[in-house]
Amino acid sequence: MTYTLERADLFISENKHLLRQDYRLNYHLMSELNWMNDPNGFVHYKGQYHMFYQHYPYKPVWGPMHWGHAVSTDLMKWEYLPVALAPDQQYDRDGCFSGSAIEKDGKLYLMYTGHIMTGPNKEKDYYQLQNLAVSDDGVRFTKVDVNPVIDVKQIPDGASEKDFRDPKVFEKDGSYYVVLGSNDGQGNGIILLYRSNDLFQWSFAGEIARSDGSLGDNWECPDLFELEGRDILIMSPQRMPAQGNDYHNLHSTTYMIGSLDTDKGKFSYNEYRPVDYGFDFYAPQTTVDDKGRRIVMAWMETWETAIPTQDGHHWAGAMTLPREVKLSGDRLVFEPLEEVKAYRSNPYEAHSIAMDGLQDLDISGDSYELQVVFEAQQAEEFGLKLRVHGEEETVLSYRPGDRLFRFNRDKAGAGLGGERRCDVELENGLLALRIFVDKSSVEIFIQNGEKVMTGRIYPGQQSIGIQAFSNGACQIQSLLKWDIK
């Protein structure tokens, strides 16, 4: 099949009427049609937020990657633009894989990985290199004549000659840098750093980080940025072994707070932590906007699992809500953006609800924001049941005895079940939750963003009930709800 931008745009235009709406999200970015995965090229440019994404326009499954494109003024309401990149050159003929964006001299540059197959085995027969495309208006992009700008000949000894991808480009001290994900061929992920004066000519600047054997066998989608004088590395380790209650997904995300030495080509850090503790959060990418906020979005889905919307719905994949990244001591916290408040409607408020047992709340819905503060008192367990109808329910619970918060979707509807847990300390006996439910997603901000858990759920359309429960006496100090439209 020959892929072109024109063919992709025409196919989307002629087929998007086929979309089924029952699981389509109300306030999250999805593909206009068919497949979406990693966020790419997340940038604030000429007064708009641009989000590109890995995209296969022709089926709701992973295929030869294109770059879809959408823009927003507030990261809530999105407008689709023409497909930005298609695999139409020899240096990207089997996929325009993930990458990033940067503004230079008023133009918008996309740096991305070209994927080239060399044989019939898609798991083994390939290599990857880095390319550049440029636009004057942020809509139509031209691939530069000198591609590839980082060739396989520039891969250092000891790094994989195949897995060499996901460039995240940034400017620091008058030079351009890019971090790339890779591995050492021996089961350890690594991050490579390159330097340039002009985005076109690049030189290897060092292997800045390497797995110690506990962080997965390949590192993808690195993102390196500065926050309040500290350097932050976010990346996505593949096949990382579980560690206690953490990292139970096939592929994970983690962050390190440390220091980047560009002269020595090293990133120093002491510890790492999950970015998200739920089911469906991968390949996060950040940008900084004109307000100075560092904002992160991720793919709200999981690799190598069946997605209910792939069957007859003509779409698959979505992005998380945008989250502001803040530094709190030696940890990151993640908070919803202020912009969400403009989309609230139908407010509801209740206070001092005494709990012991199961209680139907006077509220319901399938697209809403819920803020709840629990006072634990004598309860052995307490929490919420969302999207309830008959046997269907999504359960969020906390047990003071083991200080574990649980997100259980065993009865959530179609799709995968399972439970994710994270350690949470009560603050003066209180648990504060800020929960965003959309048609087929749940995002839970715990204790003001100290921990976040994200998951896709696929309940029936009648499953709109909201219940609270406790085993033993506790109290809901406050409960606030708004529909989000």
SS3 (DSSP) at 428: coil
Q: How far apart are CA 129 and CA 93, in angstroms?
A: 12
Domain co-membership, 297 together with 383: no
Nearby residues of 428 by Cβ (< 8 Å), 6 or more positions away: none
Amino acid sitting at position 468:
A
Confidence of residue 484 (pLDDT cuts 50, 70, 90): very high
What are 368's two structure tokens?
């809403």
Nearest 5°: the CA angle 469, 416, 386 is 25
Q: Is the pLDDT of residue 453 over 80?
A: yes
Domain co-membership, 355 together with 294: no
Confidence of residue 390 (pLDDT cuts 50, 70, 90): very high
Domain co-membership, 317 together with 379: no
SS3 (DSSP) at 12: helix
Domain co-membership, 244 together with 372: no
Q: How far apart are CA 79 and CA 223, in angstroms?
A: 25
Mean pLDDT of 72-101: 98
The predicted pLDDT at position 370 comes to 98
What are 159's two structure tokens?
């790094």
Residue-number span of the structural domain to which 365 is assigned: 343-484
For 59-140, list the strands marked E by DSSP: 66-72, 79-80, 96-104, 107-117, 126-135
Domain co-membership, 306 together with 446: no
Q: Is the pLDDT of residue 468 over 80?
A: yes
Domain boundary among 313, 336, 359: 336
**Phi–psi pair at 335, nearest 5 degrees:** -125, 145
Q: Is the pLDDT of residue 346 over 80?
A: yes
Residue among 191, 171, 85, 95 at smallest CA distance from 132: 85
Domain co-membership, 248 together with 175: yes
351 DSSP β-pair partners:
478
CB burial class (10 A; 0-12, 13-18, 19+) of residue 14?
Answer: exposed
Domain co-membership, 207 together with 326: yes
What are 9's two structure tokens?
């745009």
What are 201's two structure tokens?
């000519």
| CB of 160 closer than 8 Å to CB of 183 | yes
What are 207's two structure tokens?
């292997």
Find the CATH number of the domain harbouring 466.
2.60.120.560
Find the CATH number of the domain harbouring 201.
2.115.10.20
Domain co-membership, 242 together with 377: no
Residue burial 153-171, b: 16+ Cβ < 10 Å; e: rest: ebbeeebbebbbbbbbbbe
Cα four-point dihedral sign 186, 191, 219, 328: positive
Residue among 428, 423, 424 at smallest CA distance from 375: 428
Three-state SS sequence of 254-321: EEEEEEEECCCCEEEEEEEEECCCCCCCEEEEEEECCCCCEEEEEECCCCCCCCHHHCCCCEECEECC
Among the listed residues 9, 22, 38, 136, the single catalytic one is 38
Domain co-membership, 100 together with 189: yes
For residue 240, the 8-state DSSP code is P
Quick: pLDDT tens for 295-339: 999 999 999 999 999 999 999 999 999 999 999 999 999 999 999
Confidence of residue 1 (pLDDT cuts 50, 70, 90): confident
What are 71's two structure tokens?
């823009």
Find the radius of gyration of the CA atoms of the chain. 22
| CB of 206 closer than 8 Å to CB of 266 | yes
Domain co-membership, 347 together with 331: no
Residue among 456, 204, 428 at smallest CA distance from 319: 456
- Annotated active-site residue 38? The verdict is yes
CB burial class (10 A; 0-12, 13-18, 19+) of residue 223?
Answer: buried
Domain boundary among 277, 310, 336: 336
- What is the pLDDT of the chain when averaged over all its residues? 98
Domain co-membership, 297 together with 347: no
Q: Could you write out the DSSP letters of every residue in 180-212?
A: EEEE-SSS-EEEEEEEESSSSSEEEEEEEEE--
SS3 (DSSP) at 148: coil
Q: How far apart are CA 175 and CA 201, in angstroms?
A: 12
Q: Is the pLDDT of residue 18 over 80?
A: yes
Please give the biggest Cα pair distance in the chain.
69
Q: Report the domain count for the chain.
A: 2
Domain co-membership, 179 together with 58: yes
Q: In the chain, what percentage of residues exceed pLDDT 70?
A: 100
- Dihedral over alpha carbons 158, 161, 166, 171 (to 10 degrees): 50
Domain boundary among 336, 363, 392: 336
Tokens 């319901």 appear where? 364
